Structure 1
C-alpha cells in the first residue's frame, strides 16, 4: 500500500534528517562566526538593533518548535484514542452476534477472531513493511467475508431490528479501521512547516555563530550542545508524528485490543 510505503520512508528519513540538521547547524554556526569575525558591527547602536533582530528570529524558531511539537503530541493522543475506539467498535459488533440465530454465530465469531488478529498484526509488525502489507490485505479481505456472512445470517434470523443493529455496528467497525490505516497517516502538517523549521534552525545557528564572534575564547561545547538540542528536538517531533516506525510507539495501547481478543476465546 502506498501510504504504508510513504510512512515508512518518512520514519527512515527522520533519523538522517536529524543527523544532517546537526551537521548543518555546526557548519552554519561556524560560518556565522567566521563572517562575524570579519565584518563585526562597529557601533553599539548597530549591535543593539542586530540583537533585537536575532531575538525575533530565535523567538520565531521557538514558537514554530512549540507549534509542531504540540500538534504532534495532539495527533499522537488522537491515534491512541482511535485504538480504543476501534476496540469498542469491534467489541460492540461481536456482542451483537448474540442476536443472530444460534447456528449462524460460530462461523461469524471465527471470522471476527481472524479479523482482530489481522488488525493487530498490521501495527505490531511495523516497521516490517512486507508483513504489514500482508496483514492489511488479509484484514481488508476479512471485512468482505464478515459482511457477506453477516448479511446471510441476518436473512436466516429474519429480524429487521437485529439486521439494523448488527450491520450498523459492522459499518462503524470498518469505518474506524479505515480511519486508522489511511486517514490517520495523512493527518500531518504541510511539508512547508518542516521546511520552515529546518530553515529557521539553520538561520538561528548562523546568527548564534555571528553573535559569538566578539568573544575571543569561544566554547566548542556550547556550539555542539546547541546543535544537538535542536537536532534532537526535531527528531523527537518527527518520531512522535510517525509513531510505531521509530523509537516512540503506541504499542501499550494495543493491550485493549489484545484483551478483547482474549475475551473472544
Structure 2
C-alpha cells in the first residue's frame, strides 16, 4: 500500500474542504448579521469555544499517541537486536558440533528479519522474509533443543533456551506494534471536528469586510499538515517519517556475524 500518496490526498482534500467551509461559514455569518446584527454573538462564542476545545483535545491525544507508538516501535527494534545478539553469543555454551550450523541459521534468520521490515510490509519480498524467518525460528529451536539434550544438561547449556525464547517472542511483539492503531472512528471524528471548526471560523470572520487570506489559508494549512503528520507517524514504514534508521542496529549486528 502506498500510504504516503493516500495521506497526501487525504490532507489535500481536508485542506480544500476547510477552505470551502470557511467561505460557506463566512456567507452564513453575513446573512445572519444582515438579519440580526448583534444577536446570538454570546451563544456563538460559547459554541465556537466548545468545538475548538474538543478538537484541540482530540488532536493533542491523537498526536501524543502516534508519537508514543512511533517511539515504542523504534525501541522494539533495539530490543530485538539485543535478543538476537544475546542468543547468538550463547551459542558458545552448546556443544561445538552444533555451533557452526546454528551460526549459519542465525545469519539467515537476521537476513530474513531485515528483508521483512526493510521492504514495504505488503510486498512479496516482505512476506517471503516473514515466512522464511518463521521457518528458521523453528529450525533454530529444534537444533538448539537437540544440542542441549545431546549431553547431560548443565546450567550454562540451559541458558540457551530462554535466550532463544525471548528472540522468538519479540517477533510477535513487533508484529502487534506495527498493527496497533487507533480505531478508524477516531480519525473520522477528528476530520469531522476539523471541518466543523473551519465552518465556525468562517462564520466568525463574517464581520470583516475583506477576506483575510492569510488567516483563511493559514488555518486550513496548519490543521491539514498536523493531521498529515499524525497519520504519517502511525505508519512509520510507509510514509515520510520513518523508523528505518533504527534498523541500523540490526545491520550492525549482522556485520558482526560474518
Pair in the same fold by TM > 0.5: yes
Are residue 49 (structure 1) and residue 43 (structure 2) matched?
Answer: yes
The match for 1:19 is 12
The match for 1:201 is 194
| Shift in Å, 1:44 | 3.5
Could you tell me whether the CA contact under 8 Å between 1:93 and 1:170 is conserved in 2? yes
Three-state SS of the structure 2 residue aligned to 1:218 is coil
The match for 1:104 is 98
| Shift in Å, 1:14 | 2.4
The match for 1:85 is 79
Equivalent residue pairs, number:
257
TM-score, length basis structure 1: 0.91
1:12, 1:118 → 2: CA distance? 28
1:193, 1:10 → 2: CA distance? 18
Any stretches of 5+ residues in structure 2 without a counterpart?
A: none
| Shift in Å, 1:126 | 2.3
Large movers: runs of 4+ above 6 Å: none
| Shift in Å, 1:49 | 2.2
The match for 2:65 is 71
2:109, 2:121 → 1: CA distance? 20
1:247, 1:51 → 2: CA distance? 38
2:213, 2:181 → 1: CA distance? 36
Three-state SS of the structure 2 residue aligned to 1:39 is helix
The match for 1:176 is 170
Could you tell me whether the CA contact under 8 Å between 2:55 and 2:193 is conserved in 1? yes
Any stretches of 5+ residues in structure 1 without a counterpart?
A: 1-7
| Shift in Å, 1:25 | 1.0
| Shift in Å, 1:62 | 1.2
Could you tell me whether the CA contact under 8 Å between 2:83 and 2:163 is conserved in 1? yes
1:222, 1:157 → 2: CA distance? 77
> Which range is displaced more, 12-21 or 83-92?
12-21
